[in-house]
């Protein structure tokens, strides 16, 4: 299921931003990226995503910035000494150049550097707690967005189930007329083939008709299709992570629809079977998008 969430925060001169993205997938794949120094937050974030979701490619990004406050600056004496040591060589190569000024030296990159205020262990733990609370806010927002999408998908899935139920009802009406139609068709075919041969005994004709009717009987498949449809509605009504269970039901739907098509000896029944397969495939495609 797809979604996006973002949350920001600030504490102790530190600002952070969480960005969470989710796209469809059969399983759960969590990709987490955090800045250096915050690696311990990665495992916590992964665990909480895995606890919240069962399917989807979830990307978690954390960016952290430290605000420049009143901590001040310092001179990097090591870099300054290296620069002063190179001055005689530079003077030899460029004798006409004016000697460097103090402000010019201090303006060189790396000579003056900001001093970040060191956090105590207690302050650092409190900061990490705030950052994780912000992550929970973003994670909850992502879950809500996925739930909204799930509600819209539920309408589409129920529409496909309604189509499947409609096709089953149509097929049931045709199936009720099949025994008489098969018997009459068989009798006509036998009479046409055996015009010059004594007719088959009535009991033999009845046996052949019964065999054909048994092979063409689709009531069992229709009963299973209706059972699968009811099971799918029950699963969707339960809520929670039902995507994989619905995946399995799609396989069962397809198996019964294929059998209906293979047993069909009627144009209308074949049309219904193909309609069933189409609705089931559309149902399966939507199932891939839900938790």
Task: Please give the pLDDT value at position 253.
Answer: 92
Average pLDDT, rounded, for the chain = 81
Q: What's the angle, vertex CA 68, arms to CA 62 and CA 74, rounded to 5?
A: 125
Domain-located, residue 267? yes
User: Is the pLDDT confidence value at 171 over 70?
Assistant: yes
Rounded Cα gap, residues 51 and 192, in angstroms: 70
Helix 219-238 vs helix 243-263: crossing angle, to nearest 10: 160
The boundaries of the domain holding residue 170 are 148-287
Q: In this structure, are 193 and 219 located in the same domain?
A: yes
Domain-located, residue 119? no
Domain-located, residue 163? yes
Q: In this structure, are 10 and 139 located in the same domain?
A: yes
Q: In this structure, are 84 and 213 located in the same domain?
A: no
Contact predicate 280/162, CB 8 Å: no
Nearest to 220 by CA among 189, 280, 260, 173: 260
Rounded Cα gap, residues 154 and 290, in angstroms: 9
| Number of domain units in the chain | 3
Q: In this structure, are 130 and 31 located in the same domain?
A: yes
Contacts of residue 281, Cβ cutoff 8 Å, sequence gap at least 6? 254
Nearest to 289 by CA among 140, 149, 133: 149
Contact predicate 4/21, CB 8 Å: yes
Q: In this structure, are 64 and 107 located in the same domain?
A: no
Rounded Cα gap, residues 210 and 145, in angstroms: 57
User: Is the pLDDT confidence value at 200 over 70?
Assistant: no
Contact predicate 137/101, CB 8 Å: no
Identify the residue with better confidence: 183 or 1: 1
126-155 average pLDDT score: 90
> Coil, strand, or helix at residue 148?
helix
Identify the residue with better confidence: 97 or 68: 97
Helix 39-52 vs helix 121-193: crossing angle, to nearest 10: 40
CATH value at residue 62: 3.30.230
Domain-located, residue 172? yes
Identify the residue with better confidence: 104 or 213: 104
> Coil, strand, or helix at residue 98?
coil
pLDDT tens sequence across 81-117: 888 888 888 878 878 778 778 877 777 777 876 655 5
Q: Are strands 28-33 and 56-66 parallel, antiparallel or unpaired?
A: parallel
Q: In this structure, are 154 and 141 located in the same domain?
A: no
Rounded Cα gap, residues 95 and 85, in angstroms: 16
- Name the helix (H) or strand (E) containing 15: strand 14-23
Q: In this structure, are 49 and 163 located in the same domain?
A: no
> What's the whole-model pTM score?
0.60
Task: Please give the pLDDT value at position 70.
Answer: 52
Rounded Cα gap, residues 7 and 126, in angstroms: 18
């Amino acid at each position: 299921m797809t979604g996006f969430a973002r949350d920001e925060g600030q504490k102790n001169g530190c600002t952070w931003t969480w960005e969470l993205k989710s796209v469809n997938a059969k399983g759960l794949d969590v990709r987490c990226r955090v800045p250096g120094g915050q690696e311990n937050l990665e495992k916590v974030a992964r665990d909480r995503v895995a606890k919240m979701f069962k399917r989807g490619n979830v990307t978690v990004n954390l960016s952290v910035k430290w605000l420049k406050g009143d901590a001040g600056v310092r001179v990097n004496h090591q870099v300054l000494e290296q620069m002063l040591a190179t001055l005689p060589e530079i003077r030899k190569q460029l004798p006409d150049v004016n000697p460097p000024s103090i402000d010019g030296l201090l303006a060189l990159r790396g000579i003056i550097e900001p001093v970040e205020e060191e956090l105590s262990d207690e302050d650092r733990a409190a900061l990490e707690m705030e950052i994780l609370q912000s992550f929970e806010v973003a994670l909850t927002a992502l879950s809500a967005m996925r739930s909204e999408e799930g509600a819209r998908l539920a309408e589409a899935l129920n529409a496909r189930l309604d189509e499947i139920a409609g096709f089953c009802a149509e097929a049931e009406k045709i199936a009720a007329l099949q025994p008489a139609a098969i018997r009459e068709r068989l009798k006509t075919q036998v009479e046409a083939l055996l015009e010059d041969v004594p007719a088959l005994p009535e009991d033999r004709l009845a046996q052949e008709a019964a065999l054909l009717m048994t092979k063409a009987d689709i009531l069992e498949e229709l009963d299973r299709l209706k059972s699968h449809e009811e099971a799918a509605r029950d699963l969707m009504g339960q809520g929670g992570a039902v995507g994989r269970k619905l995946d399995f039901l799609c396989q069962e739907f397809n198996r019964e629809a294929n059998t209906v098509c293979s047993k069909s000896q009627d144009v209308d029944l074949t049309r219904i079977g193909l309609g069933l397969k189409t609705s089931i495939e559309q149902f399966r495609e939507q199932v891939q998008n839900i938790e």
